[in-house]
Amino acid sequence: MNFNSKIMKIAIVGATGMVGRVMLKVLEERNINAESLIFAASEKSVGTKIEYFGNNYTVVSVENAIEAMPQIAIFSAGGEASKKYAPEFAKNNCFVIDNSSAWRMDENVPLVVPEINADKITNTTRIIANPNCSTIQMVLALWPLQRHYGLDRVVVSTYQSVTGSGVKGLEQLMNERANINGIRAYAHRIDLNLLPHAGDFLPNAYTTEEMKLVYETRKILNDNDIKITATVVRVPVKGGHSESINIRLKNSFEIADIKRLIRAAPGIKLHDEPFDNIYPMPYYAEGKDFVYVGRLRIDESEPNSLNMWVVSDNLRKGAATNAIQIAEFIIEKFF
């Protein structure tokens, strides 16, 4: 999609971070060449250079980015920065797309996966929340089933990449593999190990990452009656998140029809030829924008139920690409 003809000023806030760098890559790949680009970050990164489309840009402060009055600001700077600065951009009639958890459950802020509910964004919307990475891939797989059969219950276990913890998570994994004592993102070793712990533990003994899957899914799919339970596990993988999902539908189904719906759904690729060793894997999904679905099979223990395996690159569709797709929708709809 080419918006070269649009007169557009876009700010990336948190441009030097892991997700911010991927956002720049996705922007370039999708040929979104705004009239003016503003790359902002924390004070320690101000003055550094970023190359984009063959040009060098100087990183500015967030305050300078606000003064530049962009029409769109895409945030990947953490919840504290978003709470502080997103309203300041919004005051200048700017569409803010935020990748943190700061605004996701605000009843006045749409939580958007463009393939599902971009229509929640209007010309008066000023802050749009990007869902959690694990939520995005799950709801894309659930959405066609919800529309055709209705969702009764969802049980999900995730196998989440260390890049979901940012640079520190990746550094810890690589240091451990090289037998180097270094920075730690986790309470325990992650290489050759699994940690049933991502986010902070809550009084109900679930983690914040697990409850995000519950609350965000209900909000995006606009159904507070879906019964959802989640277990989140951190695994020594860098290329993407995987999810084992058990789904009980409200109506009976045939697996062939489920496959047909998945094939036709936007943003999804069906990889489901298990006898030929074809099924979704993070190694394959890394660097791609699709959500991959496979291992579709009837749950023989429960009526109207099935299992699926869902994989996606958490830095791409799980964060950067979803945010850029929201920006594309805004540009196409309102400019």
Among 94, 148, 197, 241, the one annotated catalytic? 241
Among 94, 133, 148, 271, the one annotated catalytic? 133
Pairwise CA distance, residues 163 & 285, whole Å: 14
Q: Is 241 a catalytic residue?
A: yes
- Nearest partner of 37 among 329, 332, 327, judged by Cα: 327
SS (H, E, C) the chain: CCCCCCCCEEEEECCCCHHHHHHHHHHHHCCCCCCEEEEECCHHHCCCEEEECCEEEECECHHHHHHCCCCEEEECCCHHHHHHHHHHHHHCCCEEEECCCCCCCCCCCCECCHHHHHHHCCCCCCEEECCCHHHHHHHHHHHHHHHHHCEEEEEEEEEECHHHHCHHHHHHHHHHHCCCCCCCCCCCCCCCCCECCCCCECCCCCEHHHHHHHHHHHHHCCCCCCEEEEEEEECCCCCCEEEEEEEEECCCCCHHHHHHHHHHCCCEEECCEHHHCECCCHHHHCCCCCEEEEEEEECCCCCCEEEEEEEECCCHHHHHHHHHHHHHHHHHHHC
- Catalytically active residues are 133, 241
